[in-house]
Chains A and B, each alone.
Chain A
């Protein structure tokens, strides 16, 4: 417990507090009057309103589209399932700017739909909503589907034998068991869309702006740190309220579940209805997830002889001190370190939160762990720069700064993924081990760890993916000679000219492939391990 608390204190609370102080403290006195001033502005109120309703709409739409997908992945067995599972996760790890660009290429001016049917969505909110679904589909499929696959189908059969219809059995047995996972997924999607940055900035144009975009604008374009600080506080408060609500619902619903091996619960679809459902899900994935990626890849090959790719290896462009291709190595090594940190910190925190005797303070920490997801990444990144620059914590020049910031965003994923499964482990199994002479640490290693290995791998995958795609904070702290892939893409996109645009597309394609490969390895690992029991 001490390590996670220290980690969050030093690398999250302290930098954020530092930047808030920079914005709101004048001559040592907090200027809280600024909050009322900022809230009084009608354009700020408009931003708040838009942020909220687009997040609600995006979340509802994502659940609607992705829950059937979660079911199909959990319960049906079909060829290519593993590859597809990795494919749907790819969008999630793409940098938000790339997602925005991919959708621009699909539904924007001179985009694919415009060329085909003259259809443009980039001036409407639909582009943002669709991009959010694209982005968050995997969150629902992996969080909900992961647990769903391990629920014992016999529970539902028992309900059916007691006279419940298929639908009723699902509603009264499976749905409550899935409750915590659905709540967790909903919360994540809502948080991501509420704090959406890259997507809205590119697709929203001047009309639509979220809080996070506004914070970025105030910080780096208008240099109004004071307004940015107020907006950060507002976002902080809103996110805190959502998390409190979430903690409350989860605590009411959590119960010990009977988990079984996922491989035993999936079977081939039977009958026209099930095949139709499977086909529907596959078509949805093709149109919503694969098509934007395909357009992205197609544009990256837009020039003859792989010109965009060949250009990546040259260091003539002057945008970076190194060839853009070096960003791949940087990104991978940063992501590996960030994943290790996130799994260690998140695993310890999840284990501490599972203890029966966890007190009020510890349970409160559960919600606090989620805050890094909600607090503006821009604020965190900028906060790192101004807070961690003095001994003993002068990390500005150290490479570890980037993985630390990325791990911060990864930890909540690890905790969120591990916690439902850890809490579902039967307490008496732990007691059985204790009576046989296992110390608490050994109990965790011998009982919990083998049972949650799957969840741990999924968590590590998530942490790896978000580290790879993290942009908001990294853009502030990555050194010019060591850019990460998303940072390199963003810089290239920011430059005019066909060649830079093409290189951005090419680099995004590489990032996409790297992620897909990493995820495929993970999927493979996962089946091998689960074969053990």
Chain B
């Protein structure tokens, strides 16, 4: 393993910001840590970079314990959330900085600066002042600067956090291509699930300094490990259920569950696509409380008479109006048992 954390713990004033985290990243792997703000993901990066000492546990790179090794000798790259370009240097000076620190010759530096600026799509920019760059350009320069000294591990803190949406979507694709082309090992953190899923080979969801779930984007998306992960991914149809056979009793009525679901009290997730709207006299009776247009579909918020709200996804043509009365039926293939581990 290129990077491994064992029992890594950081406390701020008695509170564990990073709580016994175990995580490893293999060479050429792109891992994305996903979590809400305050979940400890930036601290995780700082601990690996050597900017934040651990209170317990260890960080190893290539199997070597990094305890006592200062940030500048760890050979990892970190791209900061707001880029932190050096204001007094031009673009070329920023990109060349890391190579200069490692004693590269002027010619090497110039060649690499050109190569990297071409790579990130800013050819001919070395003489520009960083103050004159747009947000997207700053992001590219910061990336080139982090890549320049050829770090064995590249870490990105909210790499696309402050950029506008279309630029973000384009850059995510570019980054993905770039990393697979260069074979870079990447550890990124973000609060944006779309970014994480688009970028990563493997996603790590964090909550309150602990790892809540690890898996490929598809695994995490399809089978969130618990209610927290499900809600963080934007799924709100979560409800307590009692499973008996192939049905589960909930406040939304009897729901079908996949075969082999263990019996007893469980928590269920119903994906919006699994909430089917039918005539008002069938199934669970609901009132349409709100509808939001999502581009490919309409999210319909339904209020049952005596149960929590439900979200359904339906095509624009079929979407009911606010105030309509509808019936709801559930699709077994879109129902996930969240606490299956027990």
Query: Which A441-472 residues sit within 8 Å CB-CB of chain B?
Result: 442-443, 446-447, 450-451
**Nearest chain B CB to A35's CB is how many angstroms away?**
44
Check B86 against A447 for contact (C-beta < 8 Å): yes
**Nearest chain B CB to A258's CB is how many angstroms away?**
10
Question: In the complex, what distance in Å separates the CA atom of A410 from the CA atom of B80?
Answer: 38
Which one, A428, A442, A451, contacts B84 given CB within 8 A?
A: A428
Which one, B72, B74, B88, contacts A533 given CB within 8 A?
A: B88
Q: A442-B101, A446-B97, A533-B129 are in contact. Are A435 and B78 (CB under 8 A)?
A: yes
Check B101 against A431 for contact (C-beta < 8 Å): no
**Nearest chain B CB to A153's CB is how many angstroms away?**
16
Check A431 against B71 for contact (C-beta < 8 Å): yes
Which residue of chain A is the closest to B71 with respect to CB atoms?
A: A434
**Nearest chain B CB to A346's CB is how many angstroms away?**
22
Question: In the complex, what distance in Å separates the CA atom of A436 from the CA atom of B78?
Answer: 8
Which residue of chain A is the closest to B129 with respect to CB atoms?
A: A533
Which residue of chain A is the closest to B53 with respect to CB atoms?
A: A357
B88 neighbours in A (Cβ, 8 Å): 450-451, 532-533
Question: In the complex, what distance in Å separates the CA atom of A439 from the CA atom of B49?
Answer: 14
Does A311 make an interface contact (CB < 8 A)?
no
Question: In the complex, what distance in Å separates the CA atom of A436 from the CA atom of B70?
Answer: 12
Question: In the complex, what distance in Å separates the CA atom of A485 from the CA atom of B314?
Answer: 90
Does A438 make an interface contact (CB < 8 A)?
yes
**Nearest chain A CB to B317's CB is how many angstroms away?**
44
Q: A429-B84, A533-B87, A533-B88 are in contact. Are A436 and B97 (CB under 8 A)?
A: yes
Among B50, B71, B73, B74, max chain A CB count under 10 A is at B71
Does A523 make an interface contact (CB < 8 A)?
no
B73 neighbours in A (Cβ, 8 Å): 437
Does A326 make an interface contact (CB < 8 A)?
no
B77 neighbours in A (Cβ, 8 Å): 435-436
Among A429, A432, A440, A532, max chain B CB count under 10 A is at A432
B49 neighbours in A (Cβ, 8 Å): 431, 435
Size of chain A's interface in residues, with CB distance under 8 A?
21
Check A434 against B51 for contact (C-beta < 8 Å): yes
B76 neighbours in A (Cβ, 8 Å): 435
Q: A437-B72, A437-B149 are in contact. Are A432 and B101 (CB under 8 A)?
A: no
Check A436 against B101 for contact (C-beta < 8 Å): yes
Check B98 against A437 for contact (C-beta < 8 Å): yes
Question: In the complex, what distance in Å separates the CA atom of A431 from the CA atom of B77?
Answer: 11
**Nearest chain B CB to A443's CB is how many angstroms away?**
8
Check B97 against A435 for contact (C-beta < 8 Å): no
Question: In the complex, what distance in Å separates the CA atom of A207 from the CA atom of B73?
Answer: 67
Question: In the complex, what distance in Å separates the CA atom of A533 from the CA atom of B49?
Answer: 29
A429 neighbours in B (Cβ, 8 Å): 84, 86
Chain B, residues 139-153, CB within 8 Å of chain A (1/0): the string is 000000110010000
Question: In the complex, what distance in Å separates the CA atom of A367 from the CA atom of B124?
Answer: 50
Q: A435-B76, A439-B72 are in contact. Are A426 and B84 (CB under 8 A)?
A: yes
Does B165 make an interface contact (CB < 8 A)?
no
Question: In the complex, what distance in Å separates the CA atom of A103 from the CA atom of B286?
Answer: 91
Question: In the complex, what distance in Å separates the CA atom of A17 from the CA atom of B139?
Answer: 58
Which one, B50, B87, B98, B129, contacts A436 given CB within 8 A?
A: B98
Chain A, residues 410-438, CB within 8 Å of chain B (1/0): the string is 00000000000000001011011111111
B75 neighbours in A (Cβ, 8 Å): 437
Does B294 make an interface contact (CB < 8 A)?
no
Question: In the complex, what distance in Å separates the CA atom of A532 from the CA atom of B129?
Answer: 10
Check B145 against A436 for contact (C-beta < 8 Å): yes
Does B170 make an interface contact (CB < 8 A)?
no
**Nearest chain A CB to B284's CB is how many angstroms away?**
47
**Nearest chain B CB to A531's CB is how many angstroms away?**
12
**Nearest chain B CB to A327's CB is how many angstroms away?**
41
A443 neighbours in B (Cβ, 8 Å): 72
Q: A437-B72, A437-B149 are in contact. Are A432 and B87 (CB under 8 A)?
A: no
Query: Which B142-188 residues sit within 8 Å CB-CB of chain A?
Result: 145-146, 149
**Nearest chain A CB to B256's CB is how many angstroms away?**
52
A533 neighbours in B (Cβ, 8 Å): 87-88, 129
Question: In the complex, what distance in Å separates the CA atom of A450 from the CA atom of B82?
Answer: 20
Check B86 against A438 for contact (C-beta < 8 Å): no
A450 neighbours in B (Cβ, 8 Å): 86, 88-89
Question: In the complex, what distance in Å separates the CA atom of A426 from the CA atom of B82?
Answer: 12
Q: A437-B102, A438-B101 are in contact. Are A432 and B84 (CB under 8 A)?
A: yes
A440 neighbours in B (Cβ, 8 Å): 70, 72
B97 neighbours in A (Cβ, 8 Å): 433, 436, 438, 446
Question: In the complex, what distance in Å separates the CA atom of A450 from the CA atom of B87?
Answer: 10
Query: Which B89-106 residues sit within 8 Å CB-CB of chain A?
Result: 89, 97-98, 101-102
Which residue of chain B is the closest to A449 with respect to CB atoms?
A: B88
Check B86 against A435 for contact (C-beta < 8 Å): no
**Nearest chain B CB to A348's CB is how many angstroms away?**
20
A435 neighbours in B (Cβ, 8 Å): 49, 51, 71-72, 74, 76-78
B129 neighbours in A (Cβ, 8 Å): 533
**Nearest chain A CB to B312's CB is how many angstroms away?**
41
**Nearest chain A CB to B145's CB is how many angstroms away?**
7
Which one, B72, B87, B145, contacts A434 given CB within 8 A?
A: B72
Which residue of chain B is the closest to A432 with respect to CB atoms?
A: B84
Query: Which B19-61 residues sit within 8 Å CB-CB of chain A?
Result: 49-51
Question: In the complex, what distance in Å separates the CA atom of A186 from the CA atom of B72?
Answer: 40
Question: In the complex, what distance in Å separates the CA atom of A532 from the CA atom of B86?
Answer: 13
Question: In the complex, what distance in Å separates the CA atom of A308 from the CA atom of B145?
Answer: 64
Check B149 against A431 for contact (C-beta < 8 Å): no
B70 neighbours in A (Cβ, 8 Å): 434, 439-440
Question: In the complex, what distance in Å separates the CA atom of A69 from the CA atom of B78?
Answer: 44
Question: In the complex, what distance in Å separates the CA atom of A451 from the CA atom of B71?
Answer: 22
**Nearest chain B CB to A356's CB is how many angstroms away?**
10
Question: In the complex, what distance in Å separates the CA atom of A530 from the CA atom of B193?
Answer: 43
Which residue of chain B is the closest to A435 with respect to CB atoms?
A: B78
Question: In the complex, what distance in Å separates the CA atom of A432 from the CA atom of B81?
Answer: 11
Question: In the complex, what distance in Å separates the CA atom of A446 from the CA atom of B93?
Answer: 11
A426 neighbours in B (Cβ, 8 Å): 84
A439 neighbours in B (Cβ, 8 Å): 70, 72
B101 neighbours in A (Cβ, 8 Å): 433, 436-438, 442
**Nearest chain B CB to A431's CB is how many angstroms away?**
5
A-B contact pairs, 18 of them (CB 8 A): A429-B84, A431-B49, A432-B78, A433-B101, A435-B49, A435-B72, A436-B72, A437-B72, A437-B73, A437-B98, A438-B72, A438-B101, A439-B70, A440-B70, A446-B97, A451-B88, A532-B88, A533-B88
Chain A residues at the B interface, C-beta cutoff of 8 Å:
426, 428-429, 431-440, 442-443, 446-447, 450-451, 532-533
Starting from the known contacts A435-B74, A437-B73, A446-B86, 8 additional A-B residue pairs (CB-CB under 8 Å) come to: A429-B86, A431-B80, A435-B49, A435-B77, A437-B101, A446-B97, A447-B86, A533-B87
Q: Give the 9 A-B CB pairs with smallest separation, nearest first.
A: A436-B98, A437-B101, A434-B71, A450-B88, A432-B84, A435-B78, A533-B88, A438-B101, A434-B72
